């Protein structure tokens, strides 16, 4: 009998330790029944459940969870379908693919296919840049990337491409070699 009493005491001690280590889990089902239409139960502060609007992106809109909407480079709202949606984009970003899940995914500052605005491709503009081999997007503008050998974009105007033919002695530089240096024609470096 003594050993049975000790086991009972030990079991009671173990149960007390386990209950002290556990945290309280609140079942939101009871609260859901008390929430009005268009609201849902969410934990607003640790341990405090409250009915919140299903149109609040801070609580995940109409999703079952209460995880906040977090869309890339966007200010979020709740869409008509109850999902997180893009309200506006941060400056120089845009939602070009119209897929809310990835937010404002396009950097208009540097996107080759969406330079400055959605659909403004530097590839299309490259066709109108004489003697340019490549183009790139820089600060929302398509500019010359690389010129054909012997030509340079000295005025930095994409509209006329690589407008200047350079003498070999210029070492590929618009103004030639600086100071008293000369172009080494074998290495094409100013020395």
CA distance 35 to 121: 50
Return the higher-pLDDT residue of 34 and 27.
34
Give the C-alpha separation, 170 to 191, whole Å: 12
Q: Phi and psi at residue 48, in whole multiples of 5°?
A: -115, 110
Query: 115, 121 in Cβ contact below 8 A?
Result: yes
Distance in angstroms (rounded) separating the CA atoms of residues 8 and 27: 31
Quick one: which H or E segment has residue 17? Answer: helix 2-21
The whole model's pTM is what?
0.68
What does the pLDDT look like over 58-74, one tens digit per residue? 999 999 999 999 999 99
| pLDDT tens figures, 90-117 | 999 999 999 989 999 999 999 999 999 9
Q: How far apart are CA 32 and CA 42, in angstroms?
A: 9
Q: Is the pLDDT of residue 15 over 70?
A: no
User: Hey, where are the domains in the chain?
Assistant: 27-87
Mean predicted lDDT score pLDDT of the chain? 86
Q: Which DSSP letter does residue 96 get?
A: T
Q: Looking at residue 34, what is its pLDDT?
A: 79
Residue 8 has pLDDT above 50, yes or no: no
């Amino acid at each position: 009998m003594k050993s049975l009493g000790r086991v009972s005491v030990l079991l009671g001690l173990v149960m007390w330790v386990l209950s002290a280590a556990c945290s309280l889990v609140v079942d939101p089902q009871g609260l859901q029944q008390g929430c009005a239409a268009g609201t849902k139960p969410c934990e607003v502060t640790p341990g405090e459940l409250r009915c919140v609007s299903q149109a609040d992106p801070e609580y995940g809109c109409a999703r079952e969870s209460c995880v906040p909407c977090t869309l890339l480079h966007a200010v979020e709202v709740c869409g008509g379908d109850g999902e997180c949606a893009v309200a506006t984009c941060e400056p120089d970003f845009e939602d070009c693919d119209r897929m809310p899940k990835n937010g404002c995914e396009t950097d208009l500052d540097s996107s080759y296919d969406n330079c400055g605005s959605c659909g403004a491709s530097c590839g299309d503009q490259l066709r109108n840049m004489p003697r340019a081999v490549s183009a790139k997007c820089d600060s929302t503008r398509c500019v010359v990337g690389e010129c054909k050998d012997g030509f340079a974009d000295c005025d930095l105007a994409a509209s006329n491409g690589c407008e200047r033919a350079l003498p070999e002695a210029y070492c590929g530089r618009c103004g030639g070699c600086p100071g008293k240096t000369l172009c080494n024609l074998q290495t094409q470096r100013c020395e």
